Amino acid sequence: MSESVETKKLTKGVRATVKKNVPKTAVEILMNEKPLDPVYETEGQVCGQTKILFVASEARPFIATGGLADVIGSLPQALAKNPAYDIRVVLPLYSDIKPDQRRKLSFMGNIYTPLAWRNQYCGVFTCVENGVTYYFIDNEYYFKRPGCYGYYDDGERFAFFSRSVMEILPFVGFYPDVLHCHDWQAALAAIYLKTVYNNKPEYQKIKALFTIHNIEYQGKYSLDLLEELFGIPSEYGYYLEYNGCLNLMKGAIEVSERFSTVSPTYAQEIKTAQYAHGLDPIIRRNEQKLTGILNGIDVDSYNCETDKALFANYSTDDFSGKAICKSELQKMLGLPEKDVPIIAMITRLVSHKGLELVKAGIENVLHEDLQFVLLGTGDAAYESFFKDLAMRYEGKVSANIAFNGDLSRKIYSGADIFLMPSISEPCGLSQMIASRYATVPVVRETGGLYDSIKPYGAGGNGFTFASCNPYDMLYVIHEAIDLYKNKSAWIELMKKALNTDFSWSCSASEYAKLYEETLA
Ligand code: GLC
């Protein structure tokens, strides 16, 4: 299987023996407490380190379809800077992982994963990047397909993945202190840990933390699949059963010692029927286990001073490069090169991104002297709406129906205003990325948008509106356009956006506290 990957046989879980200074706890090192005496490594691990295993279905730079990949690509690396942690990540080995990433992987060997009556090949590949050890679960029957999700047997694919996570622990020689599972695709890893594996001494010590990145996608399956597909004995059915289905997200919330979501405001919102997609009674019943921690972003990658994808670089001291980014973007998209505000949206074209508000309101602002740039793919109806808009407002609207990382950076840097009117937004990363390029966010006050962007009128870093109503959105867009005409005030606001700290430093210490609570 996966012949394209270099097969270099490694000895199980072995790394060079090192001598490290390891502090008592992760939180103490963050508080600059003096480290304890040196501790020696045993069998590939440093004594005293807290061992965390992230289980997720995507992570940059290997494979990405959305914000989850950004978080799993940057949070483990931010945590790994702290010597009190041994951070590892396990992912499926999709065939869509590009050859330049595949080349980094070494083959460790294979085992067979039991899944109900099945017994499936499970290859294990590994690599180390920026202090994080990655493991990849290989099975071509499940993962040699284009894309990551959307197959009739996704339940079986991610059950195999989650069950394999349990099975590889003795094989790779790593039993984590905390199994940190993300979203429904990894929910079964926590569920298996606390059910099928709960009679094994090495597994009994492992605590589970489950993070919800979006409560809309819960992993719902018919009740009869519990034993036949997932291989979970019926006595544990009550963990997963909910409203006449098996609900994997519900099961993970029930069994995990703690669960979290990606902003403090979303943690409050999902206790309500308006946001919880039916899970609010479960969230409320478990609310003493719930924490909301705002995501950070990789501020080294999203850096207007160094980003090579930009037409020119710039900084708070000198925005002349941003003017070049803007005029080159206009040229590239066939818009007239002139000094009018560019409003940009980079988004999946789905309704919870607030596109009904945009549909209802955008033509109102298009009567002003400005330009509107969209980048995204999604529901066909929205794609046609924006294509049609671009045709009717030629020279004013540019609709780019695509998913393109390079173009997204050119738009983030070349635009002036970034519009994100989401109906719900667990965290949202685009408003933070736009800010890193001094493009001022206009957001609806929900979830992580509320936690990261504060209104200009109150001395904040952007523009915000509260109700899901196109008139309120238009009101703040007009405020932004008016302020844009006041050059010195606008430059001050650009600086404020750019200087907002969206790095992981603060949130990584909140995760450190959460791991301690999970272990307590
Ligand atoms: C999901 C959420 C988004 C969040 C991301 C990373 O994609 O919809 O709001 O930023 O996960 O946690």
Please state, rounded to an integer, the average pLDDT across all residues of the chain: 92
CA-based radius of gyration for the chain: 24
Checking if the pLDDT of 26 tops 90, the result is no
CB-side neighbour CA atoms (13 Å) of 518: 30
> Mean per-residue pLDDT for 332-343?
98
Q: How far is the CA of 311 from the centre of ligand 1 (A)?
A: 28
Contacts of 477 (CB under 8 A, 6+ apart): 343, 361, 365, 417, 419, 442, 463
Which residues form the pocket of ligand 1, taking CB atoms under 6 Å from any ligand atom? 66-68, 71, 213-214, 262, 295, 425-429, 448
pLDDT tens track for 485-510: 999 999 999 999 999 999 999 999 99
pLDDT tens track for 118-168: 999 999 999 999 999 999 999 999 999 999 999 999 999 999 999 999 999
| Predicted confidence band of residue 267 (pLDDT cuts 50, 70, 90) | very high
In this structure, are strands 397-400 and 371-375 parallel, antiparallel, or unpaired? parallel
- What is the per-residue pLDDT for 44? 58
Q: What share of the chain is helix, strand, coil (3-state, %, to 5)?
A: 40, 20, 40
Distance (Å, rounded) from C-alpha 145 to C-alpha 164?
19
- What is the per-residue pLDDT for 37? 36
> Mean per-residue pLDDT for 302-316?
98
- What is the per-residue pLDDT for 125? 98
- What is the per-residue pLDDT for 48? 86
Q: Whose CA is nearest to atom 10 of ligand 1?
A: 428
Checking if the pLDDT of 38 tops 50, the result is no
Distance (Å, rounded) from C-alpha 263 to C-alpha 212?
10
What DSSP letter does each residue of 192-243 carry, written as one string?
Answer: HHHTTTTTSHHHHT-EEEEEES-TT---EE-TTHHHHTT---GGGHHHHEET
> DSSP character for 297?
-
Question: Model pTM?
Answer: 0.91
**CB 408, CB 329: distance < 8 Å:** no
Q: Whose CA is nearest to atom 5 of ligand 1?
A: 67
pLDDT tens track for 435-450: 999 999 999 999 999 9
- What is the per-residue pLDDT for 40? 37
Distance (Å, rounded) from C-alpha 511 to C-alpha 96?
30
Atom of ligand 1 nearest to the CA of 295: 12
- Distances from the Cα of 10 to the Cαs of 6, 7, 107, 137, 171, in angstroms? 12, 9, 7, 16, 12
Checking if the pLDDT of 303 tops 60, the result is yes
Distance (Å, rounded) from C-alpha 276 to C-alpha 434?
28
Encoding tokens for residue 283? 């969230």
> Mean per-residue pLDDT for 17-40?
40
Long-range contacts of 445-451 (CB under 8 A, 24+ apart): 446/265, 446/269, 446/422, 447/263, 447/265, 447/266, 447/269, 447/422, 448/262, 448/263, 448/265, 448/266, 448/294, 448/295, 449/420, 449/422, 449/425, 450/263, 450/265, 451/263, 451/264, 451/265, 451/294, 451/427
pLDDT tens track for 81-110: 999 999 999 999 999 999 999 999 999 999
Q: How far is the CA of 214 from the centre of ligand 1 (A)?
A: 6
Q: How far is the CA of 218 from the centre of ligand 1 (A)?
A: 14
